[in-house]
């Protein structure tokens, strides 16, 4: 049974991607099996490149994706260099879980409430400082240069890369190498720049590529914060694919293949940049500059991460304020009247998408946990090193969602499974499984086998050892992985949109749909509920082991 787990897992989450890419490629060349199709042709690509604004949309996609990735990596790596081994580094790690649990859409909506012309920042400085008695005519959200989109992406991806860096630190001897460099007279920031980061970067290369791929192909943040005329390429694809005129489906599929080519080309360009930078920095690393004096870059990195955390916290706070506001007129700092009517009025309408979100996330997470545990236990019992297949886990994170979800939807239509709840769970499982597996792999592989041997010496079989010894001792990482999977499922937008065929609404799809509306109070209710659900699950995952092990020394 366990021996078949890896093959089954690969089939369940790589099979739909391969089939979806094939289903996208066929209509991209003029053939749609669900409708009988016609002779293959390049007409969809011709129509695609004739679309006005396509070039600018592609340019915005590339610039925003690269800018957000570079900014996120610079802040995360710079903070590690500036603060490793200090109290601020430990404090920063405690803030990572709430930020990572917050869905992209909720954080983007809160960020928009902050930086909009009538946002909270403008209210706090008006009218005494700014002199504004009414909202200024500024394009601070949906700006044509994509600056708000870059900031929103960096707001979410910087904590993720910082988490990846701290996890890589725990699996390496970089700390000792940096300490040795310090004893040779190198300053803390220079020691990290010359010794720490070059050793750590190979461990976070795949996460960086995943961040780049998401920055180039995300839809929900681009809909909320990105430029509108023209929008980014991914938004254009989704709009064409959802158009009631099926004729636009063919250029949408062609655009999806263009999106795939952009992401693959961007990853290739990033890799080439890594090689060039490594060769250029080789001479600098051995040049002898020790950087003993405090580096201004260290203070800048600390300040940038502090701003990131503060803006994220303020984004969640302003969502709560708007959800409780009865009246909040510009330029008042706070609502002039408070009420629970927003929640009581939207409660009945909120129940259905909240229930779907909860059921969908729970089922996808449970399936992902079962598959991940089966694969890892198979590794443990057979003595197989599964790290060689790590690249496979990143395939759903590196391939643009829109590139294969369009084809997957066409295949679901052909199979008559379009809009089925099982198909929706499967679509979420594709993205939940990699995060669950990555979160659980290291704790599972690091489990001391002597506990199992001691139990076996007492007559316990492998099954009893698994349930009575291994699972209870790994309860904390199991719950943490489940919380991560739940948060990932809660945040998914495109898989719900395509696999659900509009029949199933979640808090995410409702929040993104309402983001273009005018009532901030209603939008805040949905966005805050979307953010609160995974945060509650994270809290339960932290509290439950502490409560269960409250009487056990060393288990808290």
Do 549 and 142 contact (CB within 8 A), yes or no? no
Q: In this structure, how many other beta carbons lie within 10 angstroms of the beta carbon of residue 544?
A: 13
- Domain spans in the chain, listed from the N-terminal domain onward: 1-29+341-556
Return the pLDDT at 414. 79
b/e code 13-36 from CB counts within 10 Å (16+ = b): beebbeebbebbbbbbbbbbebee
Neighbouring residues of 275: CB distance < 8 A, sequence distance ≥ 6 = none
Q: In this structure, how many other beta carbons lie within 10 angstroms of the beta carbon of residue 58?
A: 18
351-358 LR contacts (CB < 8 Å, sep 24+): 352/505, 353/505, 353/506, 353/507, 353/509, 353/510, 353/526, 354/507, 354/529, 354/533, 356/504, 356/505, 356/506, 357/489, 357/490, 357/506, 357/507, 357/508, 357/530, 357/533, 358/533
Return the pLDDT at 285. 73
Q: Which helix (H) or strand (E) element contains residue 337?
A: strand 337-338
Dihedral (CA of 531, 532, 538, 539) sign: positive
Do 14 and 400 contact (CB within 8 A), yes or no? no
What is the spatial distance between Cα 421 and Cα 121, in angstroms, rounded to a whole number?
42
Backbone region of residue 274 per phi and psi (left: phi > 0; alpha: psi in -120 to 50; beta: other values): alpha
What is the spatial distance between Cα 152 and Cα 312, in angstroms, rounded to a whole number?
10
Return the pLDDT at 555. 46
Q: In this structure, how many other beta carbons lie within 10 angstroms of the beta carbon of residue 266?
A: 21
CATH class belonging to 1-29+341-556? mainly alpha
3-class secondary structure, 325: strand
The β-bridge partners of 325 are 338
Do 327 and 519 contact (CB within 8 A), yes or no? no
Instruction: Please list the rounded mean pLDDT of every run of 10 residues in the chain (556 residues).
Output: 79 86 89 60 90 94 97 93 84 88 94 94 90 88 94 95 89 81 78 84 93 95 93 94 84 95 97 91 73 71 93 96 93 92 92 95 96 89 72 88 88 82 93 92 86 83 85 91 95 91 90 86 95 93 82 56
CA contacts within 13 A on the Cβ side of 310:
7
Burial class (CB in 10 A: 0-12, 13-18, 19+), 322: buried
3-class secondary structure, 139: coil
What is the spatial distance between Cα 145 and Cα 143, in angstroms, rounded to a whole number?
6
- What pTM does this model have? 0.93
Helix locations, 242-333, DSSP H: 249-285, 296-323
Do 44 and 28 contact (CB within 8 A), yes or no? yes
Distance of CA 389 to the CA centre of its chain: 21
3-state secondary structure 516-533: CCCCHHHHHHHHHHHHHH
Do 233 and 401 contact (CB within 8 A), yes or no? no
Q: What angle do CA 352, 357, 363 make, to 5 degrees?
A: 125
């Amino acid at each position: 049974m366990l021996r078949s787990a890896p093959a089954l897992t690969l089939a369940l989450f790589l099979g739909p991607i391969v089939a979806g890419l094939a289903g996208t490629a066929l209509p991209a060349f003029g053939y749609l099996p669900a409708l009988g199709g016609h002779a293959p042709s390049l007409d969809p690509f011709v129509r695609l490149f004739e679309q006005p604004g396509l070039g600018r949309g592609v340019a915005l996609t590339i610039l925003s994706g690269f800018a957000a990735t570079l900014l996120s990596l610079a802040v995360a790596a710079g903070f590690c260099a500036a603060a490793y081994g200090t109290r601020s580094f430990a404090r920063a790690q405690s803030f990572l879980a709430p930020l990572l649990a917050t869905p992209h859409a909720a954080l983007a909506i809160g960020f928009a409430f902050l930086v909009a012309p009538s946002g909270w920042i403008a209210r706090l400085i008006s009218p005494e400082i700014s002199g504004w008695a009414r909202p200024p005519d500024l394009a601070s959200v949906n700006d044509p240069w994509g600056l708000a989109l870059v900031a929103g992406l960096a707001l979410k991806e910087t904590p993720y890369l910082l988490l990846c860096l701290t996890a890589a630190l725990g699996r390496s001897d970089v700390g000792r190498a940096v300490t040795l460099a310090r004893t040779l007279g190198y300053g803390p920031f220079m020691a990290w720049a010359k010794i720490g980061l070059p050793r750590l970067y190979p461990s976070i290369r795949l996460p960086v590529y995943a961040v780049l791929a998401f920055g180039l192909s995300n839809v929900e943040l681009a809909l909320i914060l990105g430029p509108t005329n023209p929008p980014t390429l991914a938004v254009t694809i989704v709009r064409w694919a959802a158009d009631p005129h099926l004729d636009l489906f063919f250029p949408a599929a062609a655009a999806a293949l263009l999106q795939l080519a952009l992401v693959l080309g961007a990853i290739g360009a990033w890799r080439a940049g890594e090689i060039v930078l490594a060769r250029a920095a080789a001479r600098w690393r051995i040049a002898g500059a020790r950087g003993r004096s405090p580096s201004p870059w260290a203070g800048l990195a600390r300040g940038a991460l502090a701003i990131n955390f503060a803006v994220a916290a303020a984004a969640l706070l302003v969502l709560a304020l708007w959800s409780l506001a009865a009246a909040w007129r510009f330029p008042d700092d706070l609502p002039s009247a408070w009420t629970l009517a927003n929640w009581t009025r939207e409660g009945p309408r909120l129940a259905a998408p909240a229930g779907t979100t909860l059921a969908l996330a729970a089922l996808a997470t449970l399936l992902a946990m079962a598959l991940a545990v089966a694969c890892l236990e198979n590794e443990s019992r057979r003595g197989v090193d599964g790290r060689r297949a790590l690249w496979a886990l990143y395939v759903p994170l590196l391939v643009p969602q829109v590139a294969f979800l369009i084809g997957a939807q066409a295949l679901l239509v052909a199979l008559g499974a379009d809009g089925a709840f099982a198909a929706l769970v499967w679509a979420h499982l594709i993205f939940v499984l990699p995060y669950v597996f990555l979160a659980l792999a290291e704790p599972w592989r690091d489990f001391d086998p002597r506990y199992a041997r001691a139990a076996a010496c007492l007559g316990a079989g492998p099954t009893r050892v698994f349930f009575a010894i291994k699972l209870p001792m790994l309860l904390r990482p199991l719950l943490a992985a489940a919380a991560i999977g739940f948060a990932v499922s809660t945040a998914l937008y495109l898989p719900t949109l395509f696999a659900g065929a509009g029949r199933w609404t979640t808090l995410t799809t409702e929040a993104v749909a309402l983001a273009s509306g005018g009532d901030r109070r209603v939008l805040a209710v949905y966005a805050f509920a979307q953010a609160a659900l995974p945060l509650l699950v994270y809290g339960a995952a932290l509290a439950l082991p502490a409560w269960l092990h409250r009487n056990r020394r060393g288990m808290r």
